[in-house]
Protein backbone atom coordinates (compact mmCIF):
# COMPACT_ATOMS: atom_id res chain seq x y z
CA UNK A 1 0.00 0.00 0.00
CA UNK A 2 1.37 3.38 -0.95
CA UNK A 3 2.29 5.68 1.90
CA UNK A 4 2.52 9.42 1.43
CA UNK A 5 4.11 11.80 3.89
CA UNK A 6 2.74 15.22 4.76
CA UNK A 7 5.11 17.52 6.63
CA UNK A 8 5.23 21.03 8.02
CA UNK A 9 7.74 23.56 6.71
CA UNK A 10 10.43 22.71 9.29
CA UNK A 11 9.85 18.97 8.91
CA UNK A 12 9.37 18.19 12.62
CA UNK A 13 5.66 17.35 12.29
CA UNK A 14 5.07 14.49 9.87
CA UNK A 15 2.05 12.43 8.98
CA UNK A 16 2.35 9.05 7.32
CA UNK A 17 -0.82 8.50 5.34
CA UNK A 18 -1.45 4.96 4.13
CA UNK A 19 -3.32 4.19 0.96
CA UNK A 20 -5.44 6.54 -1.10
CA UNK A 21 -7.34 9.40 0.52
CA UNK A 22 -11.07 8.75 0.92
CA UNK A 23 -11.73 12.08 -0.78
CA UNK A 24 -9.95 15.23 -1.90
CA UNK A 25 -11.74 18.55 -1.82
CA UNK A 26 -10.76 22.05 -2.89
CA UNK A 27 -12.19 24.71 -0.59
CA UNK A 28 -12.58 28.41 -1.34
CA UNK A 29 -13.93 29.37 2.09
CA UNK A 30 -12.47 32.40 3.85
CA UNK A 31 -11.05 30.28 6.67
CA UNK A 32 -9.04 28.24 4.19
CA UNK A 33 -7.84 31.47 2.61
CA UNK A 34 -6.66 32.69 6.00
CA UNK A 35 -5.15 29.35 6.98
CA UNK A 36 -3.13 28.98 3.80
CA UNK A 37 -2.40 32.62 3.07
CA UNK A 38 -3.50 31.80 -0.46
CA UNK A 39 -6.74 31.77 -2.45
CA UNK A 40 -7.95 28.30 -1.52
CA UNK A 41 -7.07 25.20 0.45
CA UNK A 42 -7.14 21.57 -0.60
CA UNK A 43 -7.97 18.88 1.93
CA UNK A 44 -7.31 15.15 1.66
CA UNK A 45 -9.59 13.20 3.98
CA UNK A 46 -8.20 10.00 5.44
CA UNK A 47 -9.75 7.53 7.84
CA UNK A 48 -8.03 8.15 11.18
CA UNK A 49 -6.51 4.68 11.39
CA UNK A 50 -4.65 5.25 8.11
CA UNK A 51 -2.69 8.19 9.52
CA UNK A 52 0.23 7.98 11.92
CA UNK A 53 1.56 11.21 13.37
CA UNK A 54 5.09 11.96 14.53
CA UNK A 55 6.26 15.19 16.12
CA UNK A 56 4.66 17.75 18.37
CA UNK A 57 1.59 19.73 17.48
CA UNK A 58 -0.67 22.35 19.02
CA UNK A 59 -4.23 23.13 18.15
CA UNK A 60 -6.92 25.74 18.09
CA UNK A 61 -10.63 25.42 17.44
CA UNK A 62 -12.44 27.51 14.89
CA UNK A 63 -15.94 27.68 13.53
CA UNK A 64 -16.40 26.73 9.91
CA UNK A 65 -18.79 28.23 7.40
CA UNK A 66 -20.83 25.04 7.62
CA UNK A 67 -21.49 25.69 11.33
CA UNK A 68 -19.40 22.72 12.48
CA UNK A 69 -16.25 23.21 14.51
CA UNK A 70 -12.81 22.42 13.18
CA UNK A 71 -9.86 21.58 15.42
CA UNK A 72 -6.82 22.82 13.54
CA UNK A 73 -3.44 21.33 14.39
CA UNK A 74 -0.14 23.04 13.67
CA UNK A 75 3.57 22.63 14.24
CA UNK A 76 4.64 24.70 17.31
CA UNK A 77 8.04 25.39 15.72
CA UNK A 78 7.13 26.66 12.25
CA UNK A 79 3.37 27.14 12.53
CA UNK A 80 2.58 24.88 9.57
CA UNK A 81 -1.11 23.92 9.60
CA UNK A 82 -0.69 20.34 8.48
CA UNK A 83 -3.92 18.66 9.55
CA UNK A 84 -7.26 19.15 11.20
CA UNK A 85 -10.22 17.34 12.65
CA UNK A 86 -13.56 18.29 11.14
CA UNK A 87 -16.41 17.86 13.62
CA UNK A 88 -18.64 17.21 10.61
CA UNK A 89 -16.61 14.07 9.73
CA UNK A 90 -15.47 12.67 13.12
CA UNK A 91 -14.06 9.44 11.67
CA UNK A 92 -11.72 11.42 9.39
CA UNK A 93 -8.59 13.50 9.57
CA UNK A 94 -8.14 16.20 6.99
CA UNK A 95 -4.60 16.70 5.74
CA UNK A 96 -3.47 19.82 3.87
CA UNK A 97 -2.59 18.62 0.37
CA UNK A 98 0.10 21.30 0.07
CA UNK A 99 1.91 19.62 2.98
CA UNK A 100 2.58 16.62 0.73
CA UNK A 101 4.37 18.93 -1.74
CA UNK A 102 3.61 16.31 -4.38
CA UNK A 103 2.31 17.41 -7.79
CA UNK A 104 1.28 13.80 -8.41
CA UNK A 105 -1.13 13.79 -5.46
CA UNK A 106 -4.67 12.79 -6.51
CA UNK A 107 -6.61 15.76 -7.87
CA UNK A 108 -9.56 17.19 -5.98
CA UNK A 109 -12.87 15.70 -7.09
CA UNK A 110 -14.94 18.68 -6.02
CA UNK A 111 -14.71 22.31 -5.02
CA UNK A 112 -16.78 23.96 -2.34
CA UNK A 113 -17.64 27.52 -1.24
CA UNK A 114 -17.13 28.76 -4.79
CA UNK A 115 -18.95 31.96 -3.81
CA UNK A 116 -15.63 33.00 -2.23
CA UNK A 117 -13.55 32.12 -5.29
CA UNK A 118 -11.70 35.13 -6.72
CA UNK A 119 -13.04 36.25 -10.10
CA UNK A 120 -9.61 35.90 -11.72
CA UNK A 121 -9.18 32.27 -10.70
CA UNK A 122 -10.00 29.66 -13.31
CA UNK A 123 -9.84 25.97 -12.52
CA UNK A 124 -10.57 22.87 -14.57
CA UNK A 125 -14.10 21.56 -14.18
CA UNK A 126 -14.25 19.36 -11.11
CA UNK A 127 -17.05 16.92 -10.47
ZN1 LIG B 1 7.31 22.65 11.68
ZN1 LIG C 1 -12.43 25.90 3.67
CATH number at residue 13: 2.170.150.70
Ligand nearest to the CA of 41: 2
Domain that holds residue 23: 3-114
Q: Which chain residues have CB less than 5 Å from ligand 1, an ion?
A: 8, 10, 12, 75, 77-78, 80
How many CB atoms within 10 Å of residue 80?
A: 22
Strand pairing category for 110-112 and 23-27 = parallel
| Total-model pTM | 0.94
pLDDT in the model for residue 19: 97
Please tell me the predicted confidence (pLDDT) of residue 124.
82
Tell me, what's the pLDDT at 119? 94
Helix (H) or strand (E) holding 54: strand 51-54
pLDDT, residue 106, reads 96
Percentage of residues of the chain with pLDDT beyond 90: 89
Give me the mean pLDDT over the 73-78 stretch: 98
Which ligand ends up closest to the CA of 36? Answer: 2
Strands 23-27 and 14-18: unpaired
Residues 6 or more apart from 108 whose CB is under 8 A from it?
Answer: 24, 25, 26, 42, 97, 126
Instruction: Judge whether 125 lies within some domain.
Output: no
123 within some domain:
no
Compute, in angstroms, the gap from residue 63 CA to the centroid of ligand 2: 11
- The answer on pLDDT for 79 being more than 70 is yes
Q: Is residue 41 part of a domain?
A: yes
Rounded to whole angstroms, the Cα distance separating 22 from 14 reads 19
Total domains present in the chain:
1
On whether residue 90 sits in a domain, the answer given is yes
> The sheet that has 14-18: what strands, in order across it?
3-7, 14-18, 51-54
Amino acid sequence: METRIAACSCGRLRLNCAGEPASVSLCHCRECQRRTGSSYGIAAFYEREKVSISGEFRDYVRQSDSGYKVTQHFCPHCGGTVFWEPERKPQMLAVAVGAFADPGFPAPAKQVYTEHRPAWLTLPDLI
